Amino acid sequence: MPESIPANSVGLVTPQSARFSEPLQLESGRTLSEYTLAYECYGALNAARSNAVLVCHALSGDHHVAGYRSMDDRKPGWWETMVGPGKPIDTDRFFVVCSNFIGSCKGSTGPASINPATGQPYGLDFPIVTVRDWVQTQARLADLLGIERWAAVVGGSLGGMQVMQWAIDFPERLAHAVVIAAAPKLSAQNIAFNEVARQAIMTDPDFHGGQYYAHDTKPRRGLALARMIGHITYLSEDAMRQKFGRDLRNGEHLAFGFDVEFEVESYLRYQGRSFVERFDANSYLYITKALDYFDPAAPYEGNLAAALAPARAHFLVVSFTSDWRFSPARSREIVTALYANNLPVSYAEIEAHQGHDAFLMPIAQYVDVLGGYMDRVGRECGA
């Protein structure tokens, strides 16, 4: 709980929710007849409706980007460091929107929601959703909010993939695209890590084919393992060394047993356990699948420049030196494809030891780069 809300926070915020009853045609070929999007907004939309910024969240994120939902909140939103009054995404200037994507478990329709056809939770009957589907739902939310064109669409990791998809699918509806710590598609190694995570969940005897809701249980072990695997890939080897090294949990003495011996083991077990309390295992399956499927260049025989040909936005692409999940080389693939289309691109490779997680952290050079770019976005849109 914050004793008082810091002055540079958006403060107390209220999540909102919108119901869409026009059927959504999904990339898989299936249709979602109706769905809910949970979202949050900060700042004020100006009269010209020109100062709106869409933030796209990543795998385990949600629409609670900044501020506190109550005075009992232990922590603010996941991007508090970047979004707020006077911050890089300045809520004194911008109207900031973030919606939770469908398939998730944070308020938008997903596998834990009730399937109107059966009256039971969807489970694995929920359709596979993709980054393209998410962008469609975000466009409908923009319509609802009366936003014809975003001053910028911004996102890190899986969020950055949504930004790319926005630039391809709705080129006229965004002025700037900010793609952070992303990749144009998953590598075989990325897919491999996702697959082990999914197998951990789906082979857990408490998974019950995804209908664990009816069994008053959930695949706790599997989801915890999935999260532990994920965490290893979010941190650089160097960050792990700095954070834990080979430090022992209980001082100097080796225990020679199978209980927690090293600090890093304790950290991972804690991360696994706590994730189970706040995330739905089926959602983890669906979101990792959306990651696997993202590959806008696939219809163009792998030619990313061809895939990005419709784009009209100005781009900022940001990567982090120690990110081995989506390395700077992956960001440079995006930059090269944008250059090939003669699109205006700024590229920043931030020196950071934190690995993929760096995109969530207030690293000075990163704050400066994003702040400087968003200042320009603000000046252009009259914010």
Binding segment toward its own copies, per CB under 8 A, in 31-39, 51-59, 75-83, 251-259: 251-259
- Per CB under 8 A, the segment of 36-44, 46-54, 84-92, 224-232 that binds its own copies is 224-232
Our finding on whether 87 is near its own copies (CB under 8 A) is: no
DSSP per-residue codes, 128-176: P--HHHHHHHHHHHHHHHT-SSEEEEEEETHHHHHHHHHHHH-GGGEEE
From candidates 93, 185, 218, 356, binder to its own copies by CB under 8 A? 185
Catalytic residues: 157, 323, 356
By CB under 8 A, residue 125 contacts its own copies: no
Is 376 annotated as ligand-binding?
no
Annotated ligand binding at 227? The verdict is yes
| Shortest Cβ 247–its own copies spacing (Å) | 9
R_g over Cα of the chain = 21
Residue with tokens 């399937």: 115
- Of 68-76, 122-130, 313-321, 343-351, which part binds its own copies (CB under 8 A)? 122-130
Residues 297-316 as x/- pattern, contact with its own copies by CB under 8 A: -x------------------
> Taking CB under 8 A as the rule, does residue 251 contact its own copies?
no
What is the torsion angle, in degrees rounded to the nearest 10, for the CA atoms of residue 239, residue 322, residue 153 and residue 131? -90
CA–CA distances in Å: residue 118 to residues 14, 42, 125, 225, 352? 31, 37, 10, 31, 49
Q: Judged by CB under 8 A, which of 6, 36, 262, 341 binds its own copies?
A: 262
Q: List 18's β-bridge partners, or say none.
A: 37
Distance CA 164, CA 316 (A): 11
Sign of CA dihedral 129, 286, 331, 160: positive
* Min dist. Cβ of residue 125 to its own copies (A): 11
Using CA atoms of 25, 26, 31, 33 in order, give the dihedral in degrees to the nearest 10.
Answer: -70
Smallest separation (angstroms) from its own copies to the CB of 255? 9
CB 120 within 8 A of CB 58: no
We find the least distance from the C-beta atom of residue 381 to its own copies, in angstroms, to be 37
* Cα 113 to Cα 135: distance, rounded to the nearest angstrom: 20
Say which residue the tokens 């707020």 belong to.
Answer: 84
Annotated binding residues for substrate, written as ranges, equal 227, 357
Binding site for its own copies (CB under 8 A): 27-30, 124, 127-128, 185-189, 191-193, 195-196, 198-200, 202-205, 221, 224-225, 228-229, 231-232, 235, 237, 240-241, 243-246, 254, 256-258, 261-262, 264-265, 268-269, 272, 285, 289, 292-293, 295, 298
Which residues define the annotated binding site? 227, 357
